[in-house]
Structure 1
Amino acid sequence: MFEDGRQAKEVSLIWFGRTLWKFTPLYVELVFMAICLRLIGLVEPFIFQVIIDRILPFQRDASLLVVVVIFGAVSLFQLGFEVLSGLLGMLTANRVTRELGARLFEHLFRLPFSHFRKWSVGELIARISETDTIRAFIVGTTTGIFLDLIFVLVYIAVLLTLSMPLTLIVLAALPVQILIYLAFGPFLRRRLRVQFDAGAAHQTQMVENISGIASVKALSAEVRMLEGLDRTLHANLNARYRVGLLRIWNDKLLFVVEKAITISIVYFGAQFVFAGQMTLGELIAFHLLAEKVTDPIENFSRLWESWQNVRVSRQRLGDVVNAQTEPFGTLPRLPPQIESSLEFRNVDFAYTPSAAVLRNFSFRAEPHTLTLVVGPSGSGKSTFGRLSSGIDVPDAGEVLLGGKSIAQYDPNDVRTRIAYV
C-alpha cells in the first residue's frame, strides 16, 4: 500500500525496453501480420458493394461465383494470418515473460534483507505479478492500438471517397468519445488502485493464515481467522464492484454514441440513396467501413483503461525494481588471512523506530575461542546472527571482522566466511 498517502515512484518503461529490444525481429513479424490482416479487412466491404450493385440487379450467376471464390480465398488467407499471428504472439509473450522474470528475480534476491520486511509474502507476490500486466500492455495492447489508429486514417480516406457528408457524421462523434475517456480516466485510476490494495490485502491474509495453520489450530483461532478472511474478501469484492460499475457506465455511454452513429448513417444514407447520390452497395460498404473506424476508437477506450491499470502496476512494481540492491561484486573481498575476531562496536538496531532491539551494544568474540550467545526467545539472538553476517545492517555503530568493518567488503564474501542459519 502507499504509505502516508504518498505514491511510489513508477518503474521506468526503459527497464522493460531493454528486454523487449532483444525481440525486435519477432515484433516486426507481428506488426507485418497485423498490417496484412487490416488490409485484408478492406476487401470485404467492397465485395458486398460489387454483389449488391453489379451482380444482384442483373442476376449474373457466373460473376457471383467468381466473387464468392475470391471472398473465400481472402477469408482463408485471413484465417491463416490470424493463426500465425496468434501462435507468434504466444511465443513472443512467453520469451519476453521468461526474460523479464529472470531479471526481476535476480534483482529481487540482491535486495537487502530489510527490504523484505516492508511487506508480507502475499503483498510482495502481488507486486511481482504486476510484471505481466505491464508486459501485456507494451507488447500487445499498444502495438495493436497504434496500428488501429494509423488505419483509422486509411479508413477515413476510403470513406471520403464514398460519401463526404456521412464521413463528417462519423468524425463528429470522435470528440464525444474522447471526452468520455478523459472524464472517466481519473476516477477509474483511483478505483483501480483501491482494488489492487484490497486484492493484495486479501491475498496476504490467505497466505499468512494458510502458512500458519498449525498455530491457528493450536490457538483455536479458526473463527477469528475466518472473520478476517471474510472482511478482506468483502473489501476486495466491493472494490471490484466499484470498478465494474464505472466500466459499465463508461461502456454504455460509448455504446450510445456508436448507435447514434449507426442510426445517423442509416437514415441519412438512405436519403442519399433515394436522391441518387450514392448506391445501395456504397451505403452497405460505408456502414461496414464505418465500423472499422469506431471499433479502434472503442479499443482506444480499452487502451485508456489499460493505461490506468499500468500506472498502478508501475507504482507497485517500482517499489521493488527501484530499490537499491546490495553492492555485490563492487566491493573488495575479505583478505584470505584475516583475524577471526568478531566485534560489535556501539551498535544500535531496530525493526521499527519505536522498538529498539539493540542500543549502544558492544561485544567482542576473541579469535580461536568458543563463544555462546544464549537468552530467552525474543532476546535478540537471531538479530545478533543476522548482524554478524551482514544480512541486517546496524542503524548506528559498526560490526567488525578482524578489526575491519564488514560494510567495507563484498556482502556475499562476508556471508561465505560467517555462516548464519
Structure 2
Amino acid sequence: MENHVHSALICASRLIRLAGLNPMDIETFSQKVAIDTSVKTTLASLQRYIVQFSQTASVRFKIRKQALEKIRQEQLPLAFRDRQGNFILLARMNEQQVLLQYADDKKPQMLSYQSLADMWGGMILCCSHSRFDIRWFIPPLRRHRKPLMQVLLLSLLLQFLALISPLFFQVIMDKVLVHHALTTLEVLIFILVIVGVYEVILKGLREYIFTHTTTRVDILLGGKLFQHLIRLPLSYFKQRHVGNIVARVRELDNIRDFITGSALTLCVDVVFTLVLFIVMWCISPLLTLIILSTLPFYLLLAVMTTRPLQKKVEALCGFAAQNGAFLTETVSGVETVKSLALEPRMRQRWESQTRDFAQANFQVQNLQNLSSQAAQLLQKVAGALVIVIGAYHVMSVQLSIGQLIAFNMLALQALMPMSKLVDLWQQSIRAQVGLKLISDILSLPVEPEADPAAPHPAISGNILLKNVAFRYRPDLDPVLHDLNLSIRAGEHIGLVGPSGSGKSTVARLLQRLYNTEQGVITIDGYPINHLSPEYLRRQVGVVMQESYLFNRTVRENIAHSRPTATLTEVVNAASLAGANAFILALRESPDLNF
C-alpha cells in the first residue's frame, strides 16, 4: 500500500477551510511531524498523523468506516477513501450526481452517483466540531438552579395542599353529615379556608419566582445565541436568506418555553401522581386498577401521533421561514418592487405562501386537537367507570359515599397530568424541530477568538498576495486564480475590472472575511491567518459600496467602532467622508435618528 497521508492531510485542510476556520499549511505540518513517505501506510499510522494534525489545527477529526448508503446530507462535506487508498473530498451529493475534488486537483468536478459508488472504499474522514443539542441550555439553567428548585418545592407543597380537599370532603360526607357534627364542620371549613389562602399565596409566589427566573434565563440564552451568531463567518450569511436566519433564532423561544415551562412543573405533578395512586389504593384497590388500566392508552396515543405530527410541524416551520424570508426581501427591496411595478405579482406570491402556511398550521392544530380530545375522552371514560362501579360498591356497603367522592376527586387529579403529558409530548416534538432548525446556527464553528499570545504588530501597510486562489463555493469557478500582488505602505492603487472579476473579493480576503483556497496573504511580513480577525479589521479602513445605516443617530452611526469619540472627532470623520454638508442640513443633526 502506498503512503496516502498527504492526500488525507490535504482533504483535512480543505475541510477546515470549508468550515470557515484557518487552513493548515500542509508542508509546514509535514516537516514538523517528520512524515516518512518511504514506508507503507497503515490505518494505525494514518490515524496517528490525523490526530497530530487535529492537535496542531485545533480541530477534531474522525476516521471511521461507513457505507455510502448511510451518508447523510448533514455530514457533508467530508473526505472518503477510494479503493486505491487515496482520500477525496466529497462536497455535495444527491441521488444522481456528486461534487468531489481530488487532493492533487485545484478544481472540483461533477461525477455520477454510480461513479462514486464504484470508487467508494468504505472509510471516511470528517471534521467533528461540537454538535448542538439540549445540553446547550443546561449551563444557564444550572446557574439559576436555586430559584428553579424553589419552584419545584412550591409545586410539591401545592400538590400536598390539593390532597387535603378530597380527604376533607370524605370526612364531611361520612362523619359530619351523618352525625350532624356542626362544630367539626366549622373547624373543617376554617381549615379549608386557611388551606385555600395558603394555596393562593404559594401559587402567586411560585409564578413570581418562575417568571423572574425564566426572564433571566431568556437574557442569558439570547445573549449566548446572539454572540455565536455574529461570530459566524460571513459565508454563512451570504448563503442564507435573512428571513430564514431570523426564523431559526426565534425557535429559541419555543425551546426555552418547553424546558422551563410546563415540562418543569409537570415533572413534580407526575412524581406526585404516585402518591395519589397510593392514597387511592388505600380507598379502593379495584377502582385504582381501573384508573391504572387507562395509562397504556395515553402512551399509545402519544406514540401514534408522533410521526405525523413531526412531519406536519417540520412543514409548518418551513413555510413560516419561507414567509419570513419573502417578507424581509420584499421590504428591503421595496424600491425595486415599486420601480418595476411588481406589486401584483408580489401580492399573489404572498397570498399563495400564506395559504400554504395556513393549511399547514390547520393540519398541525387539527392533529393536536384530535389528540387532546382523545386524551379527554379517556379521562371521561375512566371517570364514568369509577362512578358506575363505585356506586355498586356504595350500594353493597363496600364503599362509603364520602370515599367515592374523595376517590373521584383524586382520580381527576391523577389523570390530569396524564392528559398534560400528551400535550407535553406534542410540545416536545415542536421543540425537537426547533432544535434541528437552530442547530443550523449553533452547530457551526465561529471565527477564531482573539488569542492573547497572537502577534499584534503595529501595521504600516505592506501587503503581499502570493499565489492566491479563491472560490465562494466548491461547485463554482475560482474568482481569483494564482493572484500575485504587492502593495507598499502609503501606495495608492486602484483595482479595475468588470463585475465578478474579484475586486471586492480581494478586499474581503484582506479582512479575513473569507479564507484563501491556496496561497498566502501577508501584511508587513505577517501571514494574516496568524493575526486575530478582530485586531486585523480594526487596522483596516473600509468604505462599503452600500453603507448600511443602523437605527441610531447620525453621530452613533459614524462612531460605531469608537463609541467614546467626541463630537469634534465625529464631525472631522464626516468631513473626511464628504458627508458633513448634508448632515448639517438635517434638522436635529447630528442627533437625528435614522
TM-score band (shorter)? over 0.9
d(CA) in 1 for partners of 2:146, 2:501: 59
Tell me, yes or no, if structure 1 residue 210 matches structure 2 residue 328. no
**AA paired with 1:172?**
S
Q: CA deviation at 1:6?
A: 4.3
Q: Which residue of 1 aligns with 2:174?
A: 53
Describe the shift of the 1:227–1:137 C-alpha distance in structure 2 as closer, same or farther (beyond 3 A): same
For the 8 Å contact 1:7–1:315, the answer to whether it is kept is no
1:398 to 520, 535, 545: 520
Tell me, yes or no, if structure 1 residue 232 matches structure 2 residue 353. yes
1:2-26: per-residue Cα shift (whole Å, max 9, x none)?
xx98468962222211111111111
Q: Which residue of 2 aligns with 1:105?
A: 226
**AA paired with 1:15?**
W
Question: Normalization by structure 2: what TM-score?
Answer: 0.67
Q: Which residue of 1 aligns with 2:493?
A: 371
Q: CA deviation at 1:368?
A: 2.4
Q: CA deviation at 1:234?
A: 1.3
**AA paired with 2:540?**
I
For the 8 Å contact 1:347–1:399, the answer to whether it is kept is no
Q: Which residue of 1 aligns with 2:589?
A: none
Tell me, yes or no, if structure 1 residue 336 matches structure 2 residue 458. yes
Q: Which residue of 2 aligns with 1:348?
A: 470
Choose 339-348 or 282-291, whichever is displaced more. Answer: 339-348
Q: CA deviation at 1:417?
A: 1.8
For the 8 Å contact 2:468–2:517, the answer to whether it is kept is no
d(CA) in 1 for partners of 2:306, 2:143: 33
Tell me, yes or no, if structure 1 residue 359 matches structure 2 residue 486. no
Describe the shift of the 1:102–1:35 C-alpha distance in structure 2 as closer, same or farther (beyond 3 A): same
Q: Which residue of 2 aligns with 1:20?
A: 141
d(CA) in 1 for partners of 2:342, 2:497: 29
Q: Secondary structure at the match of 1:111?
A: coil
Q: CA deviation at 1:399?
A: 2.6
**AA paired with 1:371?**
I
Q: CA deviation at 1:419?
A: 2.4
For the 8 Å contact 1:205–1:228, the answer to whether it is kept is no
d(CA) in 1 for partners of 2:525, 2:141: 47
Q: Which residue of 2 aligns with 1:262?
A: 383
d(CA) in 2 for partners of 1:126, 1:72: 48
**AA paired with 1:223?**
P
Q: Secondary structure at the match of 1:343?
A: strand
Identity %: 27
1:101-140 equivalent positions in 2, closer than 5 A: 101-140=222-261
Tell me, yes or no, if structure 1 residue 37 matches structure 2 residue 158. yes
Choose 323-332 or 337-346, whichever is displaced more. Answer: 337-346
Q: Which residue of 2 aligns with 1:88?
A: 209
Q: CA deviation at 1:262?
A: 0.9
1:150-229 equivalent positions in 2, closer than 5 A: 150-229=271-350
Tell me, yes or no, if structure 1 residue 62 matches structure 2 residue 183. yes
d(CA) in 1 for partners of 2:433, 2:291: 34
Q: CA deviation at 1:224?
A: 1.5
Q: Secondary structure at the match of 1:160?
A: helix
For the 8 Å contact 1:33–1:81, the answer to whether it is kept is yes
Tell me, yes or no, if structure 1 residue 248 matches structure 2 residue 405. no
Choose 87-96 or 244-253, whichever is displaced more. Answer: 244-253
Q: CA deviation at 1:375?
A: 4.1
d(CA) in 1 for partners of 2:475, 2:187: 82
For the 8 Å contact 2:450–2:535, the answer to whether it is kept is no
**AA paired with 2:530?**
Q
Question: Normalization by structure 1: what TM-score?
Answer: 0.93
1:182-206: per-residue Cα shift (whole Å, max 9, x none)?
1111221121111111111111111
1:93-146: per-residue Cα shift (whole Å, max 9, x none)?
110010111111111121111111232111111111222222222222332121
d(CA) in 2 for partners of 1:369, 1:216: 42
Q: Secondary structure at the match of 2:421?
A: helix
d(CA) in 2 for partners of 1:6, 1:76: 58
1:233-312 equivalent positions in 2, closer than 5 A: 233-312=354-433
d(CA) in 1 for partners of 2:72, 2:448: 31
Choose 182-191 or 325-334, whichever is displaced more. Answer: 325-334
1:367-391: per-residue Cα shift (whole Å, max 9, x none)?
3210112345554433222122111
d(CA) in 2 for partners of 1:176, 1:7: 36
d(CA) in 1 for partners of 2:342, 2:196: 62
Q: Secondary structure at the match of 1:350?
A: coil
1:272-299: per-residue Cα shift (whole Å, max 9, x none)?
0000001011101000000111111111
**AA paired with 2:312?**
R
Q: CA deviation at 1:339?
A: 5.5
Number of residue pairs the alignment of both structures matches = 418
Q: Secondary structure at the match of 1:363?
A: strand
**AA paired with 1:310?**
A
Describe the shift of the 1:345–1:416 C-alpha distance in structure 2 as closer, same or farther (beyond 3 A): farther
Q: CA deviation at 1:230?
A: 1.2
Q: CA RMSD in A?
A: 2.1
For the 8 Å contact 1:45–1:288, the answer to whether it is kept is yes
Choose 68-77 or 393-402, whichever is displaced more. Answer: 393-402
Describe the shift of the 1:51–1:169 C-alpha distance in structure 2 as closer, same or farther (beyond 3 A): same
Q: Which residue of 1 aligns with 2:196?
A: 75
Choose 53-62 or 311-320, whichever is displaced more. Answer: 53-62
Q: Secondary structure at the match of 1:359?
A: strand
Q: CA deviation at 1:336?
A: 2.4
Normalized per residue, which structure has more helix? 1
d(CA) in 1 for partners of 2:221, 2:379: 39
For the 8 Å contact 2:323–2:353, the answer to whether it is kept is yes
Choose 392-401 or 70-79, whichever is displaced more. Answer: 392-401
**AA paired with 2:506?**
F
For the 8 Å contact 2:386–2:408, the answer to whether it is kept is yes
Which one has a bigger Cα radius of gyration?
A: 2
Q: Give the number of the structure with larger relative contact order, counting CA–CA contacts within 8 Å between residues 6 or more apart.
A: 1
**AA paired with 2:351?**
D
Describe the shift of the 1:6–1:148 C-alpha distance in structure 2 as closer, same or farther (beyond 3 A): farther
1:146 to 247, 261, 267: 267
d(CA) in 2 for partners of 1:179, 1:362: 67
Q: Which runs of 5+ in 1 are unaligned?
A: none
**AA paired with 1:22?**
R
Choose 324-333 or 230-239, whichever is displaced more. Answer: 324-333
Q: Secondary structure at the match of 1:177?
A: helix
Choose 59-68 or 7-16, whichever is displaced more. Answer: 7-16
